[in-house]
């Protein structure tokens, strides 16, 4: 095998950025690979503009450390309250720029773009190499458990009937208020009457723009924009900066870990002795008709994610973060939001550093 890395991270979305920076800051020679041309993942490239899952229902930050650092660097202004929840607005280009700066700031962190996972060597039940590079531990942040799949580790599939994929795109130059349910419904109704697929709005009044989430196929996006321009007052001059409409999967595949976080754990705000991250986002399900069902935690509460959810059950040096953590379909419908992904990414980075350091000490 050529070269060697202590820790390899696969995927440079919110979770992978957090994992790679944390692993390198922990002193490990770290390799980050992604099949894309640069860092960002879903948070940087899909048109999303709100970081969810950073705060409890009083607006207090749930996770310190990297999640706070990244949110401080990326966020636009102060957190905003939407119903019972707090979100932080951001611009995707800023998300990508901050990620790139952080990843370039560490001499012991090597990044390889346009590099999909090709092969993963498994010897004696441990991963020993990734794409021909010797590794001490791997953190799967691919969103779809690509490393685990390659080595045949047990995974849980998500359920598209409760996690319906959607097309996300921003619309700019809107001369109309959309900030209340009534105001948004006045726009959504004509779209529905015209037989267009369901959409939901995240308005950004100060920017005269809105993020549209469309439960349909990518070719519907230009139709929706055209309809709004021609038929809805205030949208005459709307335009999108999105160059590629793509269907985005809300959840992909979760790796079975030493513990599987459940929807009951989330809704009962369960705490764990080996907690490494906190979440308070509700269980948010979306069906194929674009209708969401939201189940909240008790007021003032948060749940914890144990370290066991970030350690693969069958492979001691495989860790996971973000959308791939060990969680059932209900739990991941809460823990998949970016605030949680940043927190589990940083936690997985720390766990992998501890694993590699201990293994190196045992060899001495």
CA-closest candidate to residue 30, choices 97, 84, 110: 110
For the segment 205-224, give every residue that binds ligand FAD (CB under 6 A): 213
Q: Within 13 Å of residue 29, how many CA atoms lie on the same side as its CB?
A: 9
Q: Is 143 in the site for ligand FAD (CB under 6 A)?
A: yes
Here the contacts of 97-102 (C-beta below 8 Å, separation 24 or greater) are 98/70, 98/73, 98/74, 99/12, 99/17, 99/39, 99/40, 99/44, 100/38, 100/39, 102/17, 102/21, 102/70
Other C-beta atoms closer than 10 Å to the C-beta of 68 total 17
What does each C-alpha distance from 285 to 131, 250, 290, 292 come to in angstroms? 36, 9, 10, 5
Alpha carbon distance 227, 199 (integer Å): 13
For the segment 301-330, give every residue that binds ligand FAD (CB under 6 A): 322-323
Task: Find the part of the chain contacting ligand FAD (CB under 6 A) among 129-137, 231-239, 289-297, 334-342.
Answer: 334-342
Q: Is 200 in the site for ligand FAD (CB under 6 A)?
A: no
Alpha carbon distance 172, 238 (integer Å): 5
Complex with ligand FAD: residue 207 or 359, whichever CB lies closer: 207
Q: What is the helix (H) or strand (E) element at residue 110, kind and residue range?
A: strand 109-112
User: Smallest gap, in angstroms, from Cβ of residue 202 to ligand FAD?
Assistant: 6
Alpha carbon distance 282, 298 (integer Å): 10
Task: Find the part of the chain contacting ligand FAD (CB under 6 A) among 24-32, 48-56, 71-79, 105-113.
Answer: 48-56
Q: Is 238 in the site for ligand FAD (CB under 6 A)?
A: no
Task: Find the part of the chain contacting ligand FAD (CB under 6 A) among 45-53, 125-133, 254-262, 301-309.
Answer: 45-53
Q: Cβ contacts of residue 133 below 8 Å, gap of 6+?
A: 1, 2, 3, 4, 5, 8, 31
CA-closest candidate to residue 300, choices 52, 56, 54, 53: 56
| Pattern 153-172, ligand FAD, x by CB under 6 A | -------------x-x----
Task: Find the part of the chain contacting ligand FAD (CB under 6 A) among 96-104, 132-140, 175-183, 247-255.
Answer: 247-255
Contact 172, 209 (CB under 8 A): yes
User: Smallest gap, in angstroms, from Cβ of residue 93 to ligand FAD?
Assistant: 16
Task: Find the part of the chain contacting ligand FAD (CB under 6 A) among 34-42, 90-98, 312-320, 347-355.
Answer: 34-42
For residue 320, give the 3-state DSSP assignment.
strand
User: Smallest gap, in angstroms, from Cβ of residue 50 to ligand FAD?
Assistant: 4
Q: Is 85 in the site for ligand FAD (CB under 6 A)?
A: no
User: Smallest gap, in angstroms, from Cβ of residue 150 to ligand FAD?
Assistant: 8
User: Contact with ligand FAD (CB under 6 A): which of 7, 8, 9, 15?
Assistant: 15
User: Smallest gap, in angstroms, from Cβ of residue 233 to ligand FAD?
Assistant: 27
Q: Is 351 in the site for ligand FAD (CB under 6 A)?
A: no
| Residues in touch with ligand FAD (CB under 6 A) | 10-16, 33-36, 41-43, 48, 50-53, 116-117, 141-144, 146, 166, 168, 213, 248-250, 322-323, 336-338, 341
């Amino acid at each position: 095998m050529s070269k060697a890395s202590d820790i390899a991270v696969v995927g440079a979305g919110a979770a992978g950025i957090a994992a790679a920076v944390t692993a390198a800051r922990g002193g490990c020679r770290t390799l980050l690979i992604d099949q894309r041309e640069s860092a960002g993942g879903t948070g940087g490239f899909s048109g999303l503009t709100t970081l969810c899952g950073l705060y409890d229902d009083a607006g207090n930050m749930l996770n310190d450390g990297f999640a706070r650092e990244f949110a401080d660097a990326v966020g636009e202004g102060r957190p905003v309250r939407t119903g019972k929840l707090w979100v932080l607005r951001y611009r995707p280009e800023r998300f990508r720029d901050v990620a790139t700066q952080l990843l370039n700031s560490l001499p012991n962190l090597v990044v390889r773009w346009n590099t999909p996972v090709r092969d993963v060597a498994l010897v004696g039940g441990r991963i020993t190499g990734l794409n021909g590079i010797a590794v001490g531990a791997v953190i799967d942040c691919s969103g779809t458990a690509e490393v685990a799949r390659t080595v045949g580790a047990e995974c849980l599939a998500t359920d598209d009937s409760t996690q319906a994929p959607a097309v996300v795109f921003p619309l700019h130059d809107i001369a109309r208020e959309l900030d209340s349910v009534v105001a948004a419904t006045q726009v959504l109704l004509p779209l529905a009457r015209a037989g267009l697929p369901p959409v939901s709005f995240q308005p950004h009044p100060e920017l005269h723009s809105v993020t549209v989430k469309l439960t349909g196929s990518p070719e519907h996006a230009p139709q929706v924009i055209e309809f709004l321009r021609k038929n809805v007052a205030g949208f005459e001059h709307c335009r999108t900066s999105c160059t590629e409409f793509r269907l985005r999967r809300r959840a992909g595949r979760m790796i079975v870990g030493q513990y599987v976080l459940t929807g009951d754990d989330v809704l009962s705000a369960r705490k764990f002795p080996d907690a490494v991250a906190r979440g308070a986002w509700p269980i948010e399900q979306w069906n194929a008709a674009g209708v969401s069902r939201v189940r909240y935690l008790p007021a003032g509460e948060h749940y914890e994610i144990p370290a066991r959810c970030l350690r693969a059950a069958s492979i001691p040096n495989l860790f996971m973060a973000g959308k791939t953590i060990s969680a059932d379909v209900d739990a991941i419908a809460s823990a998949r939001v970016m605030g949680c992904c940043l927190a589990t990414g940083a936690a997985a980075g720390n766990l992998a550093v501890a694993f590699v350091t201990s293994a190196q000490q045992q060899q001495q």
